[in-house]
């Protein structure tokens, strides 16, 4: 049987090029077409020598494919995707353009008026651990943001079980590839190296996504979330530490671990770790490691999660979603363990 042809819009960014690397190893699909404005006309391997095994020329327009990944910046992504949807093509959007259900939130958080708010209800939030069945029948999947992936997976079992009261703190540290390949002073080597800083204290764009999904898990208890992201000098990875007061009379460490183990027992890409996870244990893999514990002195749940922002936080999760949309086993092409050291 012929392999299903897939394409990547914007292979020249970090999320796009990581998709190309992972799709090259996928046994059931063929990466048949890639676009990228700055490198149009060049071969993929010329621009990215680590992809020397892929014989493709970067174009300005996609060729004929059955499923498209858009790895465009937000706002631009929707413009590319809308005509594809009209043609009946399946799409996984790695940008934020279809993640939020409330169209008015785009003006507030992203500074643009959404061009197709009617599509927001149809788009499925692509976190398979929460929305697997809907993803399988979706035409448009909105791949979650990198920070929300780590934060939601850290908190979902506790919020669903009403284990915590809604005063949640999410403290995340991201490597610099989270800011993309476009050059900026913030991610310049001499600025970012040997430095750690918090940013977006007035409210990061990923906050509405985190609260939207936690609210769905427990609609009676709208979560109040303080989210503070940090930039740290490593290339890949997000470590999240989430804190929330335990509801009174709730559970000790062993019961909470059991709740997490039960919640994730059938999940191929979430593992409840035996010790606090390191980002390096997820490097290059689609794994999210989660470690729940309790601060006995303050009665707070503390959950640590680790992901690779470019894999479970972007390209790997997008392929996990594609597998579901195409009726393939969810792990296909994503089985490789993390790289160590």
Ligand X SMILES: NC(=O)c1ccc[n+]([C@@H]2O[C@H](COP(=O)([O-])OP(=O)(O)OC[C@H]3O[C@@H](n4cnc5c(N)ncnc54)[C@H](OP(=O)(O)O)[C@@H]3O)[C@@H](O)[C@H]2O)c1
The reply on whether position 107 binds ligand X by CB under 6 A is no
146 counts as catalytic: yes
Q: How far is the CB of 94 from ligand X (least distance, A)?
A: 4
Q: Are 308 and 174 in contact (CB under 8 A)?
A: no
Between 18 and 301, name the residue whose CB sits nearer to ligand X.
Answer: 18
Sole window of 32-40, 81-89, 289-297, 330-338 interacting with ligand X (rule: CB under 6 A): 32-40
Q: Are 34 and 17 in contact (CB under 8 A)?
A: no
Q: How far is the CB of 18 from ligand X (least distance, A)?
A: 8
Strand order in the sheet with 29-35: 58-59, 29-35, 4-9, 67-70, 90-93, 140-142, 124-125
Instruction: Give the binding-site size for ligand X (rule: CB under 6 A).
Output: 30
Sole window of 20-28, 81-89, 244-252, 306-314 interacting with ligand X (rule: CB under 6 A): 306-314
The reply on whether position 15 binds ligand X by CB under 6 A is yes
Longest dimension (CA), the chain: 64
The reply on whether position 314 binds ligand X by CB under 6 A is yes
Closest CA to 37 of 45, 47, 27, 29: 47
Residues 6+ apart with CB under 8 A from 322: 6, 29, 67, 69, 92, 328
Q: Are 334 and 319 in contact (CB under 8 A)?
A: yes
The reply on whether position 178 binds ligand X by CB under 6 A is yes
x-marked contacts with ligand X along 34-73 as a string, rule CB under 6 A: --xxxx-------------------------------xxx
Closest CA to 168 of 131, 125, 218, 129: 218
- Choose, from 123, 146, 231, 325, the residue flagged as catalytic: 146
The reply on whether position 309 binds ligand X by CB under 6 A is yes
Q: Are 110 and 75 in contact (CB under 8 A)?
A: yes
Cα separation values, 219 from 11, 144, 211, 242, Å:
38, 20, 11, 20
Q: List the one residue from 150, 313, 316, 333 that touches ligand X (CB under 6 A).
A: 313
x-marked contacts with ligand X along 135-174 as a string, rule CB under 6 A: ----------xx----------------------------
Cα separation values, 322 from 94, 109, 289, Å:
12, 27, 22
Binding site for ligand X (CB under 6 A): 10, 12-16, 36-39, 71-74, 76-77, 94-96, 145-146, 177-178, 180-182, 309-310, 313-314
Task: Point out the residues that are catalytic.
Answer: 146
């Amino acid at each position: 049987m012929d392999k299903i042809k897939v394409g990547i819009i914007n292979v020249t960014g970090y999320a796009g090029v990581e998709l190309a690397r992972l799709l090259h190893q996928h046994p059931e699909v063929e990466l048949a077409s890639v676009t990228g404005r700055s490198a149009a006309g060049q071969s993929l391997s010329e621009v990215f020598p680590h992809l020397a095994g892929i014989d493709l020329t970067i174009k300005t327009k996609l060729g004929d494919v059955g499923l498209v990944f858009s790895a465009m910046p937000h706002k631009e992504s929707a413009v590319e995707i809308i005509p594809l949807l009209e043609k009946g093509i399946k799409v996984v959007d790695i940008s934020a353009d279809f993640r939020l259900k409330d169209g008015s939130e785009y003006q507030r958080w992203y500074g643009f008026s959404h061009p197709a708010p009617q599509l927001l209800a149809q788009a499925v939030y692509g976190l398979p651990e929460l929305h697997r069945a809907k993803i399988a029948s979706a035409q448009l999947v909105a791949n979650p943001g990198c920070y929300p992936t780590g934060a939601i997976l850290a908190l979902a079992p506790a919020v669903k079980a009403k284990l915590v009261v809604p005063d949640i703190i999410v403290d995340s540290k991201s490597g610099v590839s989270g800011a993309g390949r476009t050059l900026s002073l913030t991610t310049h080597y001499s600025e970012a190296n040997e430095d750690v800083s918090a940013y977006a204290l007035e409210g990061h764009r990923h906050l509405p996504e985190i609260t939207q999904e936690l609210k769905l898990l427990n609609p009676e208890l709208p979560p109040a979330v303080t989210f503070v992201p940090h930039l740290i000098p490593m290339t890949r990875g997000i470590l999240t530490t989430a804190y929330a007061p335990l509801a009174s009379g709730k559970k000790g460490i062993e019961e909470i671990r059991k709740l997490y183990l039960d919640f994730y027992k059938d999940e191929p890409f979430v593992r409840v770790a035996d010790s606090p996870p390191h980002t390096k244990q997820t490097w290059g893999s689609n794994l999210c490691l989660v470690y729940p514990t309790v601060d006995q002195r303050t009665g707070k749940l503390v959950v640590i999660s680790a992901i690779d922002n470019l894999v479970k936080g972007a390209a790997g999760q997008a392929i996990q979603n594609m597998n579901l949309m195409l009726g393939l086993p969810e792990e296909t092409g994503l089985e490789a363990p993390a790289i160590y050291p």
